Chains A and B, each alone.
Chain A
């Protein structure tokens, strides 16, 4: 097939592209149906909007706190990709289904209803942080929610997520694992080792490639021989669907389709979410590998939050209502930031705790 020869920097990411699943090679294998855009109620749309806006404002504030030196190390922001986590995770059952992701994990945690305060306090390395200040931005977990991290090694979460799916099947608990990874991780060998086992054993897992177009500074087509990443499961008989990751309702629609497939015992499915990150790879990335115009074009044309805002307005949600919502979210984020700033650092004795569980 003809591969895009030029970098796709000028195209608006996914929004304009039609999901290409129907163009997959003809085969007599059963395939999931073409997903349909989710028909959300007004309340559901408001919920999605609130969650996406919370992630956006939270991340903006995290970027600010980083600039002030309150957050250290690596800090990867989710701005621009909000529709992915919100659209997918809104279809899951917290506590029953499991979620695992890489180091760009703040958004996935917020989308799973985890308290912004303990996330922000982890970013600032405080005792009250969700990992007691010992994990930091990239290593956050909430076993209670079924959120299994937050992993710093690119691609590791794909094998680990396959293990979580193995557990769902072994225990017969009806749960599904949602394992996120990026377009960069999609070139790691263990991803394919995991695809093979997941399909071989028909594990209940949705592999989600968040294709934000850049693996750090390398664009997808500079690093991937097959840059239509939803096809990456084909040689393992894992069906793939390409989804507009800038449209939360399209994402939710794909999640419904994927869940039906996986819960039906048909094994794994692969979703490629075409999305875009507005910020650098991490806070220390000046993002010189793309033009300001490219970023601005996406913001102008495809922003997931603005997109949904217009739909809400069309559905009759008043400007005042949206303003109030925005105000509430700013307050939540402000409270989280204050909490994260004021909470004490861990006791020095914490240095030695939780290395091992048992006493030997």
Chain B
């Protein structure tokens, strides 16, 4: 029985990849440890090693093929005593590569034929690619739109601002030579050199302080945290040094620093690497906190953050980095800080969310539409200062509100929105504001538990039905 070589998953979030190059050909004898192929993910090019010994009987997927799903058979190896040519003659079980298959429908590959089943992840339900149905009023009509990943949009924002202002520089772990742990800073070292794109040691507390001090001295640092989970080591500088100094100095000492990096649950990385710091930072006066959903907002808001004279915490989401959205082709696309955006208009209920929760909310809105409930979806975009006016105006129209947040329920942004609705929109409420959040537990590793802990569109649908009494 020939051994099937399957497309490997080379990162927690990888769904598919490009089979860039075969380093072996049919008929080659391979042994454990030989490099068989180069596989490109959206983050990196990885080498694929042999585990089994035998003869390459058939290369099923030719090199240069894009969109090869994880788990798809890419080659067959004839084991010892097996006739490689016979294997070749056997009908290939593997399906033809579905190069055109839409990403969003990436089903758990393999498993059907009894092979090992790729464990599902709760984050699959999170990472929607739903886009706004209302165009951003900040984009002039007729602007050409370009499909861009969130990752590229963030990089473009930094590059544009670095070109415009020599005071802007990037520092962090693996931002330069490695091209970014999540490839967000890809290409910046080549363009700007090591004076302005600076690899730091693994020393979050230290380099957060160095960045903050450089900002106090008049530079405009972008401090990348590999993830915000690691920024807990640095939270003292973000809050005590960066956020408070302008106030404590009677307005003398500015601190125009941007702390950015991925935030929130990633895929199957468990409790210490999966948490949403939005509510933590949003509770601190003196900080600006931004958490964009799509690529256009990522770009326009990061540019605004870099220009901002105040310290900014810019919360990205790893699960969205590889997602593509339309980004306006404009020379200088800068969005206002502190302005929420209506991403879908509706009459019956307002769903408020931010970051990855917006996709879940849009998913839910679509399901609700099929049941005759017309939901309006608001993307907060900035968590501090919070755009109360947009939230309250929508509430006045729909009289019902559900808040969707990929994060814990207690002392959350959702709690804050509920309080705002109570204090300033009480007369507009026809039902209590409901919160749809993650479960109030550390995020578990097991796929089924992870799935159970995270928000999903169906929970939003259920909450909306409650507040609309359906």
Interface locus among B156-164, B241-249, B418-426: B241-249
Q: Are A160 and B310 in contact (CB under 8 A)?
A: no
- 8 A-B contacts (beta carbon < 8 Å): A144-B252, A148-B217, A156-B241, A160-B216, A162-B206, A163-B215, A171-B218, A197-B206
CB-CB under 8 A from A151, the residues of chain B are: 241
Q: Which of A276-325 contact B (CB under 8 A)?
A: none
Assembly CA distance A144 to B250 (angstroms):
13
Interface locus among B116-124, B142-150, B197-205, B356-364: B197-205
A20 within 8 A of B: no
9 A-B pairs closest in CB distance:
A163-B213, A159-B209, A193-B206, A132-B250, A167-B217, A360-B338, A160-B213, A354-B251, A357-B309
* 6 further interface pairs, Cβ-Cβ under 8 Å (given A139-B249, A140-B249): A132-B251, A149-B253, A152-B240, A159-B207, A163-B214, A193-B205
Q: Are A357 and B217 in contact (CB under 8 A)?
A: no
Q: Are A163 and B246 in contact (CB under 8 A)?
A: no
Q: Are B209 and A162 in contact (CB under 8 A)?
A: yes
B454 within 8 A of A: no
Q: Are A197 and B201 in contact (CB under 8 A)?
A: yes
Known: A159-B205, A167-B217, A193-B205. A360 touches B210 (CB 8 A): no
Q: Are A167 and B209 in contact (CB under 8 A)?
A: no
CB-CB under 8 A from A163, the residues of chain B are: 209-217, 221
CB-CB under 8 A from B236, the residues of chain A are: 153, 156
Most buried by A among B203, B207, B213, B240: B213
A190 within 8 A of B: yes
CB-CB under 8 A from B248, the residues of chain A are: 131, 134-135, 139, 141
For residue B287, which residue of chain A has the nearest CB? A356
B33 within 8 A of A: no
Known: A130-B250, A143-B252, A156-B241. A197 touches B214 (CB 8 A): no
Q: Are A149 and B213 in contact (CB under 8 A)?
A: no
Q: Which of B304-348 contact A (CB under 8 A)?
A: 308-310, 336-338
Residues of B within 8 A of A (CB): 169, 195, 198, 200-201, 203, 205-219, 221, 236-237, 240-241, 245-254, 285-286, 288, 308-310, 336-338, 382, 385
Q: Are B250 and A135 in contact (CB under 8 A)?
A: yes
Assembly CA distance A189 to B234 (angstroms):
12
Q: Min CB distance, B340 to chain A, in Å? A: 12
Known: A153-B240, A170-B214, A193-B205. A355 touches B253 (CB 8 A): no
Assembly CA distance A194 to B206 (angstroms):
5
Q: Are A357 and B246 in contact (CB under 8 A)?
A: yes
Q: Min CB distance, B461 to chain A, in Å? A: 33
A235 within 8 A of B: no
Q: Which of A106-137 contact B (CB under 8 A)?
A: 129-135
Q: Min CB distance, A112 to chain B, in Å? A: 14
For residue A175, which residue of chain B has the nearest CB? B217
Most buried by B among A129, A134, A151: A134
Residues of A within 8 A of B (CB): 98, 100, 129-135, 139-144, 148-149, 151-153, 156, 158-168, 170-171, 189-190, 193-194, 196-197, 200-201, 353-358, 360
Our pick among B203, B218, B241 for the contact of A167 (Cβ within 8 Å) is B218
Most buried by A among B207, B210, B211, B236: B210
Most buried by B among A148, A153, A193, A354: A193
CB-CB under 8 A from A156, the residues of chain B are: 209, 236-237, 240-241
Q: Are A141 and B245 in contact (CB under 8 A)?
A: yes
For residue A350, which residue of chain B has the nearest CB? B250
Our pick among A164, A168, A194, A353 for the contact of B251 (Cβ within 8 Å) is A353
Assembly CA distance A149 to B338 (angstroms):
30
Q: Are B210 and A166 in contact (CB under 8 A)?
A: yes
Our pick among B201, B215, B221, B337 for the contact of A200 (Cβ within 8 Å) is B201
Q: Are B217 and A159 in contact (CB under 8 A)?
A: no
Q: Are B249 and A149 in contact (CB under 8 A)?
A: yes
Assembly CA distance A165 to B219 (angstroms):
11
For residue A136, which residue of chain B has the nearest CB? B248
Q: Are A159 and B213 in contact (CB under 8 A)?
A: yes
Q: Min CB distance, A3 to chain B, in Å? A: 28
Assembly CA distance A168 to B246 (angstroms):
21
Q: Are B205 and A190 in contact (CB under 8 A)?
A: yes
Q: Are B252 and A159 in contact (CB under 8 A)?
A: no
CB-CB under 8 A from B336, the residues of chain A are: 360
For residue B196, which residue of chain A has the nearest CB? A170
Q: Min CB distance, A343 to chain B, in Å? A: 13
Q: Are A161 and B213 in contact (CB under 8 A)?
A: yes
Known: A153-B241, A156-B209, A167-B217. A131 touches B288 (CB 8 A): no
Q: Are A357 and B213 in contact (CB under 8 A)?
A: no
Assembly CA distance A149 to B208 (angstroms):
17
CB-CB under 8 A from A353, the residues of chain B are: 251
Q: Min CB distance, B31 to chain A, in Å? A: 42
For residue A192, which residue of chain B has the nearest CB? B206
Most buried by A among B205, B214, B288, B382: B214
CB-CB under 8 A from B250, the residues of chain A are: 129-135, 354
Q: Are B213 and A167 in contact (CB under 8 A)?
A: yes
CB-CB under 8 A from B252, the residues of chain A are: 130-131, 141-144
For residue A359, which residue of chain B has the nearest CB? B338
For residue A179, which residue of chain B has the nearest CB? B213
For residue A160, which residue of chain B has the nearest CB? B213
Q: Min CB distance, B259 to chain A, in Å? A: 13
For residue A140, which residue of chain B has the nearest CB? B249
Q: Are A193 and B251 in contact (CB under 8 A)?
A: no
Assembly CA distance A141 to B253 (angstroms):
7
Our pick among A139, A140, A358 for the contact of B337 (Cβ within 8 Å) is A358
Q: Min CB distance, B171 to chain A, in Å? A: 9
For residue B256, which residue of chain A has the nearest CB? A357
For residue A196, which residue of chain B has the nearest CB? B201
Q: Min CB distance, B239 to chain A, in Å? A: 10
Assembly CA distance A57 to B209 (angstroms):
34
Known: A164-B213, A166-B214, A355-B286. A193 touches B207 (CB 8 A): yes
Q: Are B288 and A356 in contact (CB under 8 A)?
A: yes
Q: Are A160 and B209 in contact (CB under 8 A)?
A: yes
CB-CB under 8 A from A129, the residues of chain B are: 250
Our pick among B203, B285, B338 for the contact of A197 (Cβ within 8 Å) is B203
For residue B250, which residue of chain A has the nearest CB? A132
Known: A163-B214, A167-B217, A360-B382. A354 touches B206 (CB 8 A): no
